[in-house]
Amino acid sequence: MPGPGAYLVGSEEKKELMDVIESGHFFRYGAENDPRFQQKVLQFEKEFASYSGAKYCVAVSSGTGALMSALTALNIGPGDEVIVPGYTFIASLSSIILSGAIPVLAEINESLTIDPDDIVKKITKRTRAIMPVHMLGNPSEMDKIMEIARQYNLVVIEDCCQAAGASYKGKKLGTIGHMGAFSLNNFKTITSGDGGMVVTNDELLYERAFAFHDQGHKPNRTGVEIGNRSIIGMNMRMNELTGAVALAQTRKLDQILETLRNKKNKLKSELKSTMGVTFRRINDPFECATLLTLLFDNKETAEKFGQKVGAKTLAHSGWHVYNNMEQLLNLKFDLDDGEIMEYRKHMLPQTDSILERAINISIGVVDNGLGAGYGINIRSTDEEIAVVGANIKEIMKEILS
């Protein structure tokens, strides 16, 4: 049960992939004067950068790798704190920790993205960065976040892993902060099985992110550049087979988003004036529309509803909630002033109270791991949407009677 891009894999992906297989060049680098070498990764980087309105893009092997490349490019490491919401995938936190820095958890608000008021409360003398997560395809409140960043001299890394193609106030996500990180795993808006990308408008940050993902090398090397490697890096390169599929999917992104927005609007209008339920706040209509989050008046109603459709409330939906991240809850960090940073269950009461009243209905991402096993998908017809809408209404009538 994947994301919308996976539902639409077809002849376009096959053609790009066959180009690579027939060329025999699977590595992203090769002899540029060999006419058989297709350079799909390079082409993908160019097209995704242009699609995003960003100057630069580095294709990498995962969204986690994209976050690590961005954090390293920005020189975030030991002694630094990064403010990040408690409702996100573990990779947002693990990338901070494995960069040597400390994640500081902040509350979400009813948009299910980071609460700007809580960011301000979490700032200390160690804070270096904010990592807003555009959760479930909904843009974070970027104008407030960028204002806080300016005021406190912080950098902003947008975790866009669940939000490829969405925009906030006319700007594509990933290009508002200093750097943006995307994922191409199977559950994302577009997919190549696994993969990711980093975007930025800053040439130095691009060079550093590129270097981190490829053993310190300069962008688009033709050799091994002995003597020219500025930082210690890793291998998070994308290969040509992955690049080929990512390229075909990027070309479908606008069509995917338009289809999802239409289907979500249809389902929302079926649910108009249903008692006892509202929708989470959407911060920009050009969100991804991959999910419809229902917010119930109370936890009991949400749980009853969940039982009827075979879904869990977001509080219990699995590994996107800090309370359910046992590998985080075991950690402690010594801070420089003798204090300790610990991660305790229920340390974010506002987040807990929103998530226990929330249920995700799938629109384009059908994923039990997000609590979205029930709903529609990108191929659902109007009739199927009407059936789901009628079912939700009927269940609410039953629960409230």
Helices (H), 24-122: 40-52, 63-73, 90-98, 116-122
Q: Which is nearer to ligand PLP, 70 or 277 (CB)?
A: 70
For the CA atoms of 291, 292, 296, 302, what is the dihedral angle to 10 degrees? -50
Residues with catalytic annotation? 188
Closest CB 176 distance from ligand PLP, rounded Å: 16
Written as one letter, the residue type at 166 is A
CA distance 161 to 14: 24
CA distance 387 to 59: 40
Q: Which is nearer to ligand PLP, 2 or 306 (CB)?
A: 2
Residue nearest ligand PLP, Cβ-based: 63
Closest CB 187 distance from ligand PLP, rounded Å: 6
CA distance 23 to 280: 48
Q: Which is nearer to ligand PLP, 131 or 277 (CB)?
A: 131
94, 247, 326 from 100: Cα distances, Å: 10, 33, 19
- Give the binding site for ligand PLP (CB under 6 A): 62-64, 88-89, 91-92, 133, 159, 161-162, 183, 185, 196
Q: Which is nearer to ligand PLP, 140 or 259 (CB)?
A: 140
Closest CB 379 distance from ligand PLP, rounded Å: 22
Closest CB 345 distance from ligand PLP, rounded Å: 21
Query: Within a 10 A sphere around the Cβ of 395, how many other Cβ atoms?
Result: 17
8: left (phi over 0), alpha (psi -120 to 50) or beta: alpha
